[in-house]
Amino acid sequence: MLTRRSLLTSVAAAGAATFVLPSLALADPPDQSTPEGWLAQLAAHRDDVSAVFSDGAGRRFSHLADRSLVVASAIKVVHLLAYATAVAEGRLEPDEQVRVGDWDARHPYIGDGEVGKGNHHTALTYLGIPCDEYGVAKNPDQRVPLRSIAETMILCSDNAAADYLRARLGDRALRAAAARGGWRMPDVRMFGGETLLLFFPEYCPPPGSPVALRRAAGDALSNRFACDPSFRAQVLPRVAEKPPSVEAIMAWSASTGQGSAEQLFRLHHEIATNRDRAAVLAQRVLGEQFAGHEPSGTKAVLYKGGNLPGFLVLGFDLLWPDRRPGTCTVFIKNSTPEDLQYGGVLQQLCVGALFRPDTFAALERALGH
């Protein structure tokens, strides 16, 4: 996961960086620890990149933006806006005290990071909730405000938080939220269900089946895990006895929820440009991790990204006090461990492009525009 620390470092550095696109005739793999190296990497692998950039000051370009790719956790902006809309309309109360065990019920122990360092474990620890190494609260009857679940869905990229909110809100609310940005029928699935399909492939529909069947299979496993203790007890033994192969993991990753750079861009831009209560609440949550660390002269940096094996997704908005926001989305397929390791440098480029014309132009040239 791209960390808050890497993000803050990247944003701070973006204000001082000027980039020159290097030659595309590369004898060696580019050094992605530098902005110039990332530009070279993007230029050498343009067909693996989908992107939309608009700086809010009249500069805009898109690259393979309508292609559908794995969206990973970046889709959680849909859940966030649906939650914010329900709060704004009085259908949810952010101070509602939620039983932690009900939240944990959407976390299938694994699939969100290393044991002891997973995203749900991180979320509970962030909130001061004691838990075991698998991220299961030691006191399931402890209570947490609903707002904290929504916030850790973004801050910690907690999959269980997204699944809990989807279960509470329903797909109609999520579709309505996405439709605000023109995103019809977003491919929203239970993250926990998708994880369980990896370890229980016998429940997967045949390859080539409609997405609706895959979604239904994952949703059914997620609900079974939440409600059936006997099934829950099978999960960790299955993980230990039948770990999936690398090939199985890559195939599974490629079959998870899909979206396009243009769809994600439009939803981010919808959130960033509006001042209704739901949009403002979503802005506040998306901007929490950067509060006090924004580039000089800007109002806020909004961010949600995601990654799965072979895929990396970034979504940024840069808010200004006196002009339209800038927004960018970047999807990378066939991503490598180096892409994730040096993802903070790519974040630096993205944020820099939204307020520095030279960085914007360098990225545009790198992608062949």
CA angle 281, 282, 283 (to 5 degrees): 90
Q: Is 23 exposed, middle or buried (0-12, 13-18, 19+ CB in 10 A)?
A: exposed
Q: What is the mean pLDDT of residues 230-237?
A: 97
- Helix residue ranges per DSSP H, the chain: 4-14, 35-44, 76-88, 100-104, 119-126, 146-155, 159-169, 171-179, 191-199, 211-227, 229-241, 246-254, 261-273, 277-287, 337-341, 343-353, 357-366
- Please provide the average confidence, as pLDDT, over all residues in the chain: 92
Q: Is 136 exposed, middle or buried (0-12, 13-18, 19+ CB in 10 A)?
A: middle
Residue 156: closest CA among 254, 289, 255: 289
Question: What one-letter code names the amino acid at 365?
Answer: R
Q: What single DSSP character describes residue 316? A: E
pLDDT of amino acid 207: 86
| Residue 11 in this model has a pLDDT that exceeds 80 | no
| Residue 19 in this model has a pLDDT that exceeds 50 | no
pLDDT of amino acid 23: 38
| Residue 124 in this model has a pLDDT that exceeds 60 | yes
| Residue 1 in this model has a pLDDT that exceeds 70 | no
Residue 120: closest CA among 148, 160, 73, 150: 160
The rounded distance, in Å, linking the Cα atoms of 111 and 11 is: 29
The rounded distance, in Å, linking the Cα atoms of 168 and 13 is: 40
The rounded distance, in Å, linking the Cα atoms of 42 and 144 is: 42
Whether the CB-CB separation of 192 and 215 falls below 8 Å is answered with no
Q: What is the mean pLDDT of residues 35-64?
A: 97
pLDDT of amino acid 14: 36
pLDDT of amino acid 28: 75
| Residue 12 in this model has a pLDDT that exceeds 60 | no
Q: Three-state SS for 297?
A: coil
The rounded distance, in Å, linking the Cα atoms of 224 and 193 is: 9
Q: What is the mean pLDDT of residues 37-41?
A: 97
pLDDT of amino acid 27: 52
How many residues belong to the chain?
369
Q: Locate 81 and state its tokens.
A: 């806006």
Whether the CB-CB separation of 303 and 290 falls below 8 Å is answered with yes
Report which of residues 19 and 84 the model is more confident about: 84
170: left (phi > 0), else alpha (psi -120 to 50), else beta?
left
Q: What is the pLDDT confidence band of residue 13, given thresholds at 50, 70 and 90?
A: very low
For the chain, percent of residues with pLDDT exceeding 70: 93
| Residue 9 in this model has a pLDDT that exceeds 50 | no
pTM listed for this prediction: 0.93
**Residue range 326-368, pLDDT digits in tens:** 999 999 999 999 999 999 999 999 999 999 999 999 999 999 9
Tally Cβ neighbours within 10 Å of residue 18.
10
Q: Which residue has the tokens 């939309």?
A: 52
| Residue 48 in this model has a pLDDT that exceeds 80 | yes
| Lowest-pLDDT range of 11-20, 187-196, 340-349 | 11-20
